Amino acid sequence: MANKIVQTLSGTVMEVMRAVENVTNCNVTTNEKNDCNLKATALACVSIIIMAILSIVLGSKRSVKLHREKEVSGETTDAMSRKEAIYFPIIASLALFGLYMSLKVFSKNHINLVLTGYSCLLGVTALIHTSRPLVKFLMSAAISEITYHILFNRGEGKTKEKLISFKFSTYDVLCLIISTTIGVWYLIKKHWIAKNVFGLAFTMNAVEILYLNNIVTGCILLSGLFFYDIFWILGSNVIVSIAKSFETPIMLVFPQDWISNGINGSNFVTLSLGDVIIPGMFIALLLRFDHSTDRKSDIYFHSTLIAYFIGLTATIIHRIVFEEVQPARLFLVPTCLSTPLLVALLRGEMGTLFAYHDHPERKTKNKQSKDIVNAKNSRNVTLPAKDISSTKTYRRYQRLPE
């Protein structure tokens, strides 16, 4: 009898506790809800900032390594010139407007299908290149690296012509399998994690291989895109319309409802890849400049990276507080441009900073060519001994005795 009474009382207590819990949950104060939403939003913003900073740092480090490898091998790098930097915002505007007009003519679903497939293919390619060092580091103990060489020639002997020469290793095959799997996942689910994986791969790959030839070019490019953003975002709704119409991996995203919905969240904080890649190219150039000097500290790289962090944080806070679309480069360009210039001014290195060039040998060759042309047009020719020995056409420029 006593046991039945105890069981009955226990059951009653449990029911009362459940009822109290339900009432408590139903009567959560507005402040508590706001605190929960604020924490979720803060988590999303911090995640976006970390992804952007991480991709710039890794891409910049890899760009320094790639630059050194090309210097050793003598391979030249295609870098953006001042003229190309001037035309870039104009070309980007034409492409953007053309894409916007295509939405008025063609079906949005068809355009989305083409762009998704194309961007997915590029994403797989970028992910293969970006993930190879990590895969090699993780799998080197389990899988040995075996190199394969696919070679197709036409003809024999002196008429032999190489058509295809492609080298790859077991790690490349493994990267291809992983990247293709993520690509298929993105095509089927359009999941935000897969979108971020491709976005990070795009960003790191672009910062690594896209070069600005000097600081002046970087200043021109950032300044031009500063006004580009003001016109197309604040002056019109073209960029916003395109961003909402397509589901391509051109943004870094993180759900604000991550705490409540987990990986199935849908209310995203977003950041365009262009707001990471363009400043990232400039920051990578500053890191290469730091490595070209004798000092041990990367002061220009670190200071500009901190400035980028401040500008990006200000952008995201402004978007959340005022709930309106704000061009990120409206904050990023002033901070990223003013910081290295201020550091150079304080250190007395303004001339050194603007004189830096990724490929100084190109300047030497261009100067040598100009000297030869000037010598051709002059009556008295006096070439340096180094130029005389290295110029096959020197005799053409010698003045014949009268």
C-alpha distances (whole Å) from 169 to each of 8, 123, 147, 173 are 70, 20, 4, 7
Under the banding of pLDDT at 50, 70 and 90, the label for residue 377 is low
Helix, strand, coil shares, percent, the chain, to 5: 75, 10, 20
pLDDT surpasses 50 at 368: no
Stronger pLDDT, 331 or 20, i.e. the higher one: 331
pLDDT above 70 for 3: no
Question: Which residues, including other chains, have CB under 8 Å from residue 298's CB and lie 6 or more apart?
Answer: 287, 290, 291
Instruction: Locate 69 and state its tokens.
Output: 């490898």
Contact 62, 203 (CB under 8 A): no
Under 8 Å between Cβ of 278 and 222: yes
What pLDDT band is residue 7 in, cutting at 50, 70 and 90?
low
- pLDDT of 379 > 80? The answer is no
pLDDT of amino acid 141: 80
Residue 13 burial (C-beta neighbours within 10 Å; 0-12, 13-18, 19+): exposed
Residue 389 has pLDDT above 70, yes or no: no
pLDDT at 193 over 90: yes
Query: Is the predicted pLDDT of residue 384 greater than 70, yes or no?
Result: no
Does the annotation mark 257 as catalytic? no
Residue 260 or residue 401, greater confidence: 260
Task: Specify the pLDDT at position 32.
Answer: 55
Structure token pair of residue 335: 């901070």
DSSP 264: G
Q: Does residue 34 carry a pLDDT above 80? A: no
pLDDT score at 196: 94
Reduced to 3 states (helix: H, G, I; strand: E, B; else coil), residue 237 is coil
CA separation, residue 87 to residues 119, 133, 228, 280 (Å): 24, 35, 12, 19
Q: Residue 249 in 3-state DSSP?
A: coil
**Of residues 364 and 198, more confidently modeled:** 198
Q: Between residues 305 and 328, which one has the greater pLDDT?
A: 305
Sheet strands (E) in 184-316: 211-212, 251-255, 268-272
Q: Which of 306, 260, 265, 266 is nearest to 286 (CA)?
A: 306
Pick the range with the lowest mean pLDDT from 33-37, 52-56, 194-198: 33-37
Most confident range (mean pLDDT) of 138-142, 154-158, 373-377 is 138-142
- CA 102 – CA 274 distance, rounded (Å): 21
Higher-confidence residue: 179 or 156?
A: 179
Structure tokens at 99: 């894409």
pLDDT band at 11 (very low <50, low <70, confident <90, very high): low
From the list 35, 78, 172, 229, the catalytic residue is: 229
Q: Residue 103 — very low, low, confident or very high, per pLDDT cuts 50/70/90?
A: confident
Residue-wise DSSP of 117-181:
HHHHHHHHHHHHHHHHHHHHHHHTTTS---EEEEEEEESSGGG-EEEEEEEEEHHHHHHHHHHHH
Single out the residue of 86, 392, 56 nearest to residue 225, CA to CA: 86
Q: Which of 172, 275, 290, 298 is catalytic?
A: 275
Here the tokens at position 384 are: 């340096």
Please provide the average confidence, as pLDDT, over all residues in the chain: 80
Rounded to an integer, the average pLDDT of 167-185 is 92
Sorting pLDDT into bands at 50, 70 and 90, what band is 13?
A: very low
What pLDDT, on a 0 to 100 scale, did the predictor assign at position 360?
Answer: 57
Helices (H) and strands (E) in the chain, counts: 16, 6
Q: How many residues does the chain have?
A: 402
pLDDT at 373 over 50: no
Q: What is the mean pLDDT of residues 118-127?
A: 91
Tell me how far apart the alpha carbons of residues 313 and 253 are, in angstroms, rounded to a whole number: 15
pLDDT reading at 28 higher than 80: no
Query: Residues near 100 by Cβ (< 8 Å), separated by ≥ 6?
Result: 238, 241, 242
Average pLDDT over residues 158-168: 80
* 290 part of the active site: no
Identify the band that residue 343 occupies on the pLDDT scale cut at 50, 70 and 90: very high
Note the pLDDT of residue 154.
82
What value does the mean pLDDT take over residues 334-349?
95
CA–CA distance, 219 with 186 (Å, rounded to integer) = 36
| pLDDT tier, 31 (very low <50, low <70, confident <90, very high otherwise) | low
Whether the per-residue pLDDT at 295 is higher than 90: the answer is no
Residue 127's identity, in one-letter code, is L
Q: Do 56 and 207 form a contact (C-beta atoms < 8 A)?
A: yes
